[in-house]
Chains A and B, each alone.
Chain A
Amino acid sequence: MGNEAMHEQLKKSIVDQDEDAVLEAVNKALAEGMDPREVIDKGLLPGLNVIGEQFECEDIFLPELMQAALAFQSAMTVLEPKIKEAGGAEQKKGTIVIGTVKGDLHSIGKNILKLLFETSGFEVHDLGIDVDLFKFIDKANEVNADIIAISALLTTTLIGQRDVIDALKDQGTRDKYKVIVGGGATTKEWADTIGADGWSGSAYDAVVLATSLVS
């Protein structure tokens, strides 16, 4: 199979949101000697671009976007070790620390966002739910994060987002990180009020936001 046909098959398997087909195409491409970076850049990412466009015009729905992203992620578990073997460094857009604020056990929106961040090339450190404010800061410091992303679904836990920003200010490290907030209880106004660097109403838009913050 020629390289172009292979790129097309990789792309199609992502567009079809078919994890088995993605893995089959990836293994086939590697067996034919294709460079793992080429598998990603010429095959899988163009597929994800199509998925993104389809999602934006509501041709596909969120669960379909998720399944394409999951298929991509499982392809990456095959491809990443190959890239490292070949001595190539992973190309990443940036590093994000993500979690749901103290007192809030809601994780689904945060998990969707995590998956989309990873799919779009960020290194993501997920602190989970009910995260103490200092855990955000300590982790960001440890991994030298570019962005701290804080989720809150409940109006009663919203204040935890401000607490993180205030604590960063108190420590004098506020400028070291971009802090973005989101979740069902949040609004653009809230984000402005607490001095966040960004807010998004959807996981998809949050990826665009994070990308613009690190570029």
Chain B
Amino acid sequence: MKHVELLTAKQVERVHDASLWVLENVGILAHHPPAREIFKAHGCRVEADGLVKFPPEVVAKYLRVCPTSFTFRGRDPQYDRTIPDCGPVVVTGSSAPNVVDPATGVERRATSTDIANIAHLINELKGFDIFSISTLADDAPPGQFSLSRFYPALKNCLKPVRSNTPNMDDLRQVIRLGELIAGGADAYRERPIINHHYCPMVSPLTMDVDSTEAVMYLTERGLPVYTTVVPNAGLTSPMTLMGTLIVGNAEFLAITVFQQMVKEGTPIIYASLPTVADMRTGAYAPGAIETGMLCMAQAQLGHFYNVPTGGYIGLTNAHSNDAQSGYETGMNTLGAVLAGATLLNMGGLFSSLMAFDFGKAVVDDEIAIMNKRVVRGMEFNEDNLALDVIAQVGPGGDFMKSKHTKSLMKTTAVFPKVADRGMRAQWEAAGRPDAQSRARAVARGILSQPNAAVWAPELDAQIRAEFPGLVAGEATWKEDETTA
């Protein structure tokens, strides 16, 4: 597929040069002392206050050793996904504090049981490739904040699981969980099935302590970790798309160079969540079209650097599964895939990452499948020109009866589960169900079935023995049919 480009090749080079200028002259403020040491030891100038200045040749040197792909691994290897080749890879949105209760429709704090149910749903929805743990777990026992998220997620999903941890203790616990699942530390190093993600770059041009430490720790050990840069025009970056692109790109180059300095050849992703703040109120607007545009331009930069790109694209500010939710997720993700982005963190969240909704996840699955159809493309080849069938049916004939139609009718087009293609009378007879109620019915159909992805009782017993007091992590779908 020919990619859509918002910038010319010359403009892309100018953005690169401008980013180098920022890194050399403005610099990055690194708060984590060991990170400053790494920068200093590998050719950067580090000033007394922790400001790191990057000579362009140092950036160039470490960009050269950067791999061109990144692999996500799941409990079942058939769900492993490497980008850009398997792209677009579709990921759920993550770490929302709340969930829209499936029984009452009221938003509340999310629990580990919600995570188990969501994991089951994402495991079954074909549009999703990776389960980024969608919510927090309000019922987490003391000292098990992250375990209470990763345990129900991994237990109920064979696809790659992705998320973050707030501190080193949690990170080590989660890796231990991975080792138990893999059958030992060596086996885990062979196939690390927890895919870590952090945002160590805090716009503008700053590196934090906790996430930087986690990224260093994982990179040193060769465990999969990637980062996202998050500039917000008008607040943490200039009020131009170009200025925001450059701030985000400088931050991406800084963290990428850092990871290569820690360990050369570490796979990375150029991931971002760029926004333009809504200056009427200062509101955060990840569903705005400018987010999609910035991701499109960033995809061009990714092609320039020969690294996979994407990010949190397809989020929405909407609070229900309404038209806004659909057009914000639909338009932005379509733009991103047309530009060649191969990672879309898009699924299941309302209110700018605040709440997970089961119906929204099902609609986003459908949007993901549509986007993947676009990327599959027109499938140009001589057979597909179908000249013999055109001649055989002839003017005024119909293709419905042709064997050619029958042989291709299940693969040429997407069959949506949510979109209604019946006639108005049928829709009215069915009680005028809207997209949300149709989507909820799909979720209900999946979650009322047993989850075959759950691991063996022996492994479960072993894990529970290692972490006493652990949450149950069972997918149990409870829904009041009268409110369904």
A63 to B424, CA, bound (A): 23
A62-B400, A111-B398, A112-B400 given as contacts; is B406 within 8 A of A67 (CB)?
Answer: yes
Q: Any chain A CB within 8 A of the CB of B280?
A: no
A211 to B222, CA, bound (A): 70
Q: Any chain B CB within 8 A of the CB of A88?
A: no
The number of chain A residues touching the other chain, given as a range, is 10 to 19
List which A104-124 residues lie within 8 A (CB) of chain B.
Answer: 107-108, 111-112
B410 proximity list for chain A (CB < 8 A): 61
Partner of A66, one of B396, B400, B422: B400
A61 to B408, CA, bound (A): 12
Q: Any chain B CB within 8 A of the CB of A173?
A: no
A62-B400, A63-B400 given as contacts; is B406 within 8 A of A201 (CB)?
Answer: no
List which A76-125 residues lie within 8 A (CB) of chain B.
Answer: 107-108, 111-112
A61-B410, A63-B400, A111-B398 given as contacts; is B405 within 8 A of A187 (CB)?
Answer: no
Q: Any chain A CB within 8 A of the CB of B106?
A: no
Decide: A61 and B409 in contact? CB cutoff 8 A. yes
A64 to B410, CA, bound (A): 11
A111 to B398, CA, bound (A): 9
A62 to B405, CA, bound (A): 10
A64 proximity list for chain B (CB < 8 A): 406
Q: Any chain B CB within 8 A of the CB of A176?
A: no
Min distance, Cβ A187 to any Cβ of chain B, angstroms: 6
The number of chain B residues touching the other chain, given as a range, is 10 to 19
A61-B409, A61-B410, A64-B406 given as contacts; is B400 within 8 A of A187 (CB)?
Answer: no
List which B382-416 residues lie within 8 A (CB) of chain A.
Answer: 396, 398, 400-403, 405-406, 409-410
A70 proximity list for chain B (CB < 8 A): 401
Decide: B423 and A67 in contact? CB cutoff 8 A. no
B398 proximity list for chain A (CB < 8 A): 107-108, 111
Decide: A188 and B401 in contact? CB cutoff 8 A. no
A17 to B406, CA, bound (A): 11
Partner of A108, one of B400, B403, B423, B425: B400
Determine the residue in chain A with the shortest Cβ distance to B398.
A108
B423 proximity list for chain A (CB < 8 A): 187, 201
Decide: A67 and B422 in contact? CB cutoff 8 A. no
Determine the residue in chain A with the shortest Cβ distance to B425.
A188
Decide: B425 and A63 in contact? CB cutoff 8 A. no
A108 proximity list for chain B (CB < 8 A): 398, 400
Q: Any chain A CB within 8 A of the CB of B426?
A: yes
Residues of B near any A CB (own CB < 8 A): 396, 398, 400-403, 405-406, 409-410, 422-426
**Can you give 30 contacting A-B residue pairs, CB < 8 Å?**
A17-B406, A61-B406, A61-B409, A61-B410, A62-B400, A63-B400, A63-B401, A63-B402, A63-B405, A63-B406, A63-B409, A64-B406, A66-B401, A67-B401, A67-B403, A67-B406, A70-B401, A107-B396, A107-B398, A108-B398, A108-B400, A111-B398, A112-B400, A187-B423, A187-B424, A187-B425, A188-B425, A189-B425, A201-B422, A201-B423
Additional A-B contact list (15), CB under 8 Å, known A63-B400, A66-B400? A61-B406, A62-B400, A63-B402, A63-B406, A63-B409, A67-B401, A67-B403, A67-B406, A107-B396, A107-B398, A111-B398, A187-B423, A187-B424, A201-B425, A201-B426
